[in-house]
Amino acid sequence: MRVNFAKWIIFILFFLSLISFIRALTLIIFSKAPDFSVLWTGAADLIRGANPYINPSLFTGIGYPPNTLLLYLPFSLLPYQFAQVLFTLLSFGSFLGIIIISFKIIKEKFSWQTFLVVFSLSLLSFPTRFTLGMGQNNLIAFFLLLLAYFFYKEGKLGRAGLILGLAISIKTIFAFFIIFFVLKKQWKVIKLAGLTIAATIGITSIFSNINLYGYYLKEVVPPLFNLSRREIYYNQGVMGFISRLTNDLYERKYISLIISLFLTVFASWLALYKKGKDLQFSLFITTLLLIDTLSWQHHFVLLIFPFILVANFVTRRKFLFYLILIVTSYLLVSWNFSDPSPYYDFPKSLILSNTFFGALMLFFINASLILNVKRTQN
């Protein structure tokens, strides 16, 4: 009786998530995904030999280096709306790929019920819907990152390095994971990743003057270090949390820096001296989201793998207390205030860091498992 009831709950959850996705997909098809439109236009400028960073028609400035635009070159040759639909389908395919490759990394046999639960909960989470709606490249880049890690675990280091380089070329901030591979002394992976990135830069130079990188470094990168307006609700990393507590830019800078250094050093120490590569890599993912000074809510779609890994770990060992914490973490990460304005004043502003608190909770759950569980994966 209980089994049948559980199956019905799973089907209802899946049905709700599917309806939500179909509705979102319909809205995306008949609207304009802001972030995709910016990079689609930037890629078109690149083909014409124009500077994509000074186009006045852009919804917002391009913060990525020129080689990131390579992903968008094929789409820029297509009519915008059709290109947007194809890109959204590619992102959704990457979303499915993330779940599948996560299961393969864990090397556990999962039932179709488990897949449906993970699929549904991931799709209902706000970061996933936000990523798809904005036309972000998070899912594509993250799928490649997990694929690189999978090949690394399988001992296929050449493939791992190549794919890691592609992931970093699409999502520059993923260069953070080079630290993980340095700690694991995977020099071949690092070397091939570097060569792949260099190749994408070289290919980009075919379409534009190499001086475009000089412009990017001189004119685009410096404003990214401006710490004003980091208190915006969608910014959910350490910097966003601290910025909602103080308007002083120096306090924002140094308090965030100290906390971020602690999180990075702690995650690195665990990766260097403890066992459990999967848990360590998962911790690096969560660490990146916390320390990124512009960690938008759509970036937290990267927590799909940490949630799958940690939830599997604790359910297999029947750690009920940890499971309750994971559910709480998921709810905090997945929630979004459609109108945050009533909560701007302290102490009500604390609830506007819901995603931050959820990710921080997951960080310490993950770290605790590495520290306290005697036998983890190799």
Residue 373, pLDDT > 80, answer no
Q: Across the chain, what does the average pLDDT equal?
A: 90
Which residues, including other chains, have CB under 8 Å from residue 274's CB and lie 6 or more apart? 280, 370, 371
Given this model, what pLDDT does residue 98 score? 98
Highest mean pLDDT among 61-70, 75-84, 177-186, 198-207: 177-186
Confidence of residue 378 (pLDDT cuts 50, 70, 90): very low
**Could you tell me the pLDDT band of residue 210, with boundaries at 50, 70 and 90?**
low
Condensed to tens digits (0 to 9), the pLDDT of residues 321-336 reads: 899 999 999 999 999 9
- In the chain, which residue ranges form alpha helices assigned H by DSSP? 2-29, 34-48, 73-76, 80-106, 112-124, 126-134, 138-153, 157-170, 178-183, 187-207, 211-215, 238-243, 249-273, 277-291, 304-316, 320-334, 354-372
Instruction: Name the CA dihedral angle for 17, 19, 22, 24, rounded to a multiple of 10 degrees.
Output: -70
pLDDT tier at 31 (50, 70, 90 boundaries)?
confident
Average the pLDDT over 276-298 and give the result.
Answer: 96
pLDDT exceeds cutoff 60 at 376: no
282-303: average pLDDT = 96
Nearest to 126 by CA among 335, 272, 363: 335
CA-CA distance, 214 to 217, in Å (whole number)? Answer: 5
- The yes-or-no verdict on residue 377 having pLDDT over 80 is no
pLDDT, mean of residues 90-96 = 96
pTM of the model: 0.93
Inform me whether the pLDDT recorded for 6 exceeds 80: no
Amino acid found at 88: T
More confident residue, 31 or 39: 39
At 122 the pLDDT is: 93
pLDDT in tens, 232-267: 999 999 999 999 999 889 999 999 999 999 999 999
Cα 123 to chain center, whole Å? Answer: 14
- Rounded to whole angstroms, the Cα distance separating 31 from 280 reads 40
pLDDT of residue 49: 84
What integer pLDDT is reported at residue 2 of this predicted model? Answer: 54
CA distance 122 to 116: 10
User: Does the pLDDT at position 272 exceed 50?
Assistant: yes
